[in-house]
């Protein structure tokens, strides 16, 4: 029986059929190969925002990117969901890179900056408010129109640093496994990803990488004379 909801979703199912057929035509055997294994090199931890679709932005196919997304790309040490994704990606899939990706004009970051009342999710973005409070002295020197984007970038740095401090990453580094944590930001206005240069491949890298990346962000948003 066709319900009104099914009818509304029919476009998506039709798109899917076309996509599967096109993919198989372009690369015969694509799906049967994927069935056997996935060997992604990268774990993407990004925002749930629909304008920041992980695979499309970096032009990767199914099987090439392991993805975790939540509101405002938060990595928090008590989040079993994110930690489980990281643990599976690092211990079993042996990803080489973990990329924490924020984006400009993020709604979650904006809510955290302006104390917007948005319901249950306010509790989640308290983690972003922690970032705001941690950097408030500097943040309020940034001209108001750029402040959201500045906090988006600070949030990437803090969440990437949190990723470095998880038991998953610490244990991987401890046993000499090659895994590098990165912090990137995506520009909604131009479609471009930017590396914030928080790049850590071992425990000793974390503090210098964080300080360097933080200095870069501060330089970028310094008031112009």
Positions in the binding site for Zn ion (CB under 5 A): 47, 49, 106
Residue among 124 and 173 whose Cβ is closer to Zn ion: 124
Q: What is the DSSP letter of 58?
A: T
Question: Of 18, 51, 77, 211, which residue is the catalytic one?
Answer: 51
**C-beta of residue 171 within 8 angstroms of C-beta of residue 202:** no
Tokens standing for residue 117:
């009342």
Residue 103 among the catalytic residues: yes
Beta bridge partners of 142: none
Question: Of 79, 106, 132, 135, which residue is the catalytic one?
Answer: 106
Min dist CB 166 to Zn ion, Å, is 21
Residue among 47 and 206 whose Cβ is closer to Zn ion: 47
Q: What φ, ψ does residue 67 adopt, rounded to 5°?
A: -130, 135
Q: What φ, ψ does residue 39 adopt, rounded to 5°?
A: -130, 60
Residue 49 among the catalytic residues: yes
Tokens standing for residue 86:
């990281």
Residue among 49 and 153 whose Cβ is closer to Zn ion: 49
In 3D, which of 129, 104, 72 has the Cα closest to residue 221? 104
**C-beta of residue 82 within 8 angstroms of C-beta of residue 68:** yes
Min dist CB 100 to Zn ion, Å, is 12
Min dist CB 29 to Zn ion, Å, is 37
Residue positions counted in the chain: 225
**C-beta of residue 195 within 8 angstroms of C-beta of residue 182:** yes
Residue 164 among the catalytic residues: no
Min dist CB 141 to Zn ion, Å, is 24
Question: Of 68, 79, 103, 164, which residue is the catalytic one?
Answer: 103
Residue among 155 and 166 whose Cβ is closer to Zn ion: 155
The SS3 of residue 68 is strand
The catalytic residue positions are 47, 49, 51, 103, 106
């Amino acid at each position: 029986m066709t319900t009104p909801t099914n009818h509304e979703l029919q476009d998506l199912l039709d798109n899917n059929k076309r996509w599967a057929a096109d993919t198989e035509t372009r690369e015969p055997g694509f799906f049967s190969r994927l069935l056997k294994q996935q060997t992604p090199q990268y774990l993407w931890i990004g925002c749930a925002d629909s304008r920041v679709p992980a695979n499309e932005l970096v032009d990767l196919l199914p099987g090439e990117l392991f993805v975790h997304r939540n509101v405002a790309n938060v990595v928090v040490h008590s989040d079993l969901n994110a930690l489980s994704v990281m643990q599976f990606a690092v211990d079993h899939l042996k990803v080489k890179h973990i990329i924490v990706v924020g984006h400009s004009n993020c709604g979650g970051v904006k809510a955290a900056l302006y104390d917007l009342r948005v319901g249950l999710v306010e509790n989640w973005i308290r983690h972003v408010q922690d970032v705001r409070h941690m950097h408030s002295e500097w943040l309020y020197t940034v001209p108001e129109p750029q402040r959201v984007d500045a906090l988006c970038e600070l949030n990437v740095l803090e969440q990437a640093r949190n990723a470095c401090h998880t038991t998953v990453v610490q244990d991987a580094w401890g046993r000499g496994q090659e895994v590098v944590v990165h912090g990137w930001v995506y520009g909604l206005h131009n479609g471009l990803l930017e590396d914030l240069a928080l790049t850590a491949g071992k425990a000793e890298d974390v503090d210098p990488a964080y300080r360097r990346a933080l200095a870069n962000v501060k330089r970028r948003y310094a008031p112009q004379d």
